[in-house]
A and B are shown apart, each in its own frame.
Chain A
Amino acid sequence: MDLYTKSKEAILNGNTSLAEEIVKKAILENYDINALIDTLSEAIREAGDLFEEGEFFLPELMRSAEAMKAAMGILTPTLSQEKESRFIGKVVIGTIEGDIHDIGKTLVASMLSAEGFEVYDLGADVPVATFIDKAVEVDAHLICVSALLTTTMVGQKKLIDTLNERNIREKFKVLLGGAPVSKRWVEEIGADGTADNAISAVKLAKKLMVL
């Protein structure tokens, strides 16, 4: 079994210590970290599917999520070491209020910081006002808002509306993300863009900085 397959198994089995061990080994042996992250992301989605299908019990999915977070916790610092830090811009990022899904958001945050963005990660379940206050405080260029639930996507709209009400919409570019977010939603609420994975998220963020 190659290391990628093993890492996937570790996530699916919810084996935190094994997952940590494998990613540590991958770093030492100079594996392609982005490919590894892709594999891990695939694994957590598969765990989700198994749960949806009635195959997994909820605690098993939870253990997979725990293992995934632990692995990412080790991989993230190495991402930022890879590139010499050249400052591109400031980003405020978080998962919108009512939503605790933070794996994808954290991934985007790490990639952005790896590319040279100064990232303020507010975590999950973040109220609209907190996003905006932080963005104003640090004079951010981008606000990145993740929502994984169709019911919490409305928070993304609320954020745009609030920026408009406070007459500061033009000060920030707003990027949206999370599985249910579509281009159409972005247009409908007047955001500046979306991406369906962390790599394209970084590309988009960079593109918007040039403008």
Chain B
Amino acid sequence: MEQTLSLLKILFKEQRGNLVSIIEDFQIYLNDKEILRLLRGGNSTKARNREVPQDLLHEIKEMKEIAIDLIKPRGIYNIFNSRNLVPRFLFEKSERTVLAVCTIGENLEKRCSEFIKRGKLSNGVILDAIASHAAEETAEYVNQKILEEIVQETKGKEITYRFSPGYCKWSLEEGQKLIFNFLQTASIEVSLTKSMMMRPVKSVSFAINTGLEVDKELGIKNCETCDLINCAYRKVK
């Protein structure tokens, strides 16, 4: 499971006079436990002590082998003066804000719909869970890399957890418009649809606030503090 990290590339590109960073060519880890969690049904609190069936574990292994070649994780970010960002209530205590978008690409998604179309529903939903997990891991990785990159300029500053449009009272529409206006996401091949959804679907957009005294309540530390109680990815029931 613990595959080696491959060479990490951070490219700095000149875009409209802005220095943006692209993080790519890295590898993420797929964890069976997390895939199983995404595939577990129900939101009852009922005891779930049934053992995971062997054939399911086997199928997950098979699907992971397919998925691994189709996942192309990458991200783009830049750091902005928080004063220029709206809605103000989210950014007023912050000095500099990182905006980022990352994705696993569209190949896995395509393979997944192929399976579903062919009636291979079980394979399809497993691939979908793997893709969701991979997108989350990508966001986590990119987040960590960004923190390493900005360590100099954030010395002595506070840093929030990442927070995303659609969460933490940040409206999906307002948040996506802001992030996609500020970042040239075409360079990692992510675009925004009219309904504010990202293409490829398995993409994550987020912000991180930094400053002398930031609002630490922002950001998703864990599911318990999130108000999206019906979220499919919620870890606490």
Contacts and interface: CB of A to CB of B under 8 A. Distances in A.
Contacts of A65: 121
B156 interface: no
B122 interface: yes
Interface majority SS on A: helix, strand, loop or mixed? helix
Contact of A53 (B46, B123, B125): B46
B40 A54 contact: yes
A63 B115 CA distance: 13
A58 B129 contact: yes
A-B complex: 7 closest residue pairs judged by Cβ atoms: A54-B42, A51-B41, A62-B121, A62-B122, A59-B122, A58-B39, A57-B39
Interface string A111-133: 00000000000000000000000
A155 to B, nearest CB: 17
Interface of A: 14, 50-63, 65-66, 69
Contact of A52 (B42, B56, B124): B42
B213 to A, nearest CB: 42
A58 B124 CA distance: 10
Interface residues of B, number: 23
A60 B53 contact: yes
A63 B41 contact: no
Interface in B100-133: 119-126, 129
Interface string B188-210: 00000000000000000000000
Interface of B: 36, 39-44, 46, 48, 50, 52-53, 56, 59, 119-126, 129
19 contacts: A14-B122, A52-B42, A52-B44, A53-B41, A53-B42, A53-B46, A54-B40, A54-B41, A55-B42, A55-B46, A57-B53, A57-B56, A58-B39, A59-B125, A60-B122, A62-B125, A65-B121, A66-B119, A66-B121
Nearest to B36: A57
B44 A54 contact: yes
Contacts of B122: 14, 59-60, 62-63, 66
B119 A69 contact: yes
A66 B125 CA distance: 13
Nearest to B124: A62
Contacts of B44: 52-54
B42 A59 contact: no
A188 B48 CA distance: 41
Given A59-B126, A60-B122, 8 more contacts: A52-B41, A52-B42, A57-B39, A57-B53, A58-B39, A59-B56, A59-B59, A69-B119
